[in-house]
Amino acid sequence: MKTICLRRVVATSVVVLVGLVAGCASVAVTNDAIEKNTAFALGIEKGTFTISNREDDGIKSTYLATTNAGKKYTCYVTGTVSVVGRVVSDAVCNQVGKSTKQATETTSRSCNALLKAAGKCN
C-alpha cells in the first residue's frame, strides 16, 4: 500500500516538474539557439551580430539583433522542453523602422532559389 502511494506521489511530482519546466523559455531557449536561428532567419553568419534586450515571457523569448553593419531587427523565438529535449522555433525577425511590406520587398530583391521555394519572395 505504501509503495502504491509513493509511486503516485513521485509520478505526480514528475508531471508537475515537467509542466513547470516545459513552459519556461528561459530554460528551453539557450543563447546559442537564439544566435543560430537568428543567423538562419537573417541569412547572415553567426558572430556578425549581437543579441541584446532579451525578455522571456512564458514560452516566448523576444530580443534585439544588431548586425555589425548597424541594422537592427526585433526578433522572437518560442521554446519548450519535452521528452525529446529542447525544442526551439525558427526566429521571426523584422527590421526596426521598416514595415513588414518594406522588409518583404527588401528580401525579394535578394531572393534565391531556397527563398522562392519557401514562398518568401514576391
| Residue 106, Ramachandran bin (φ over 0: left; ψ between -120 and 50: alpha; else beta) | alpha
Q: Coil, strand, or helix at residue 51?
A: strand
Region 83-96: what's the mean pLDDT? Answer: 90
**What's the pLDDT at 22?**
45
Residue ranges covered by each domain of the chain? 2-96
pLDDT band at 100 (very low <50, low <70, confident <90, very high): low
**What's the pLDDT at 116?**
75
List, in order, residues 6 or more apart from 83 with CB less than 8 Å away. Answer: none
**What's the pLDDT at 12?**
56
| Residue 60, Ramachandran bin (φ over 0: left; ψ between -120 and 50: alpha; else beta) | beta
- pLDDT tens string 2-36: 666 556 655 555 544 454 444 566 778 889 999 99
- pLDDT tens string 34-89: 999 999 999 999 999 999 999 998 889 999 999 999 999 999 999 988 888 888 99
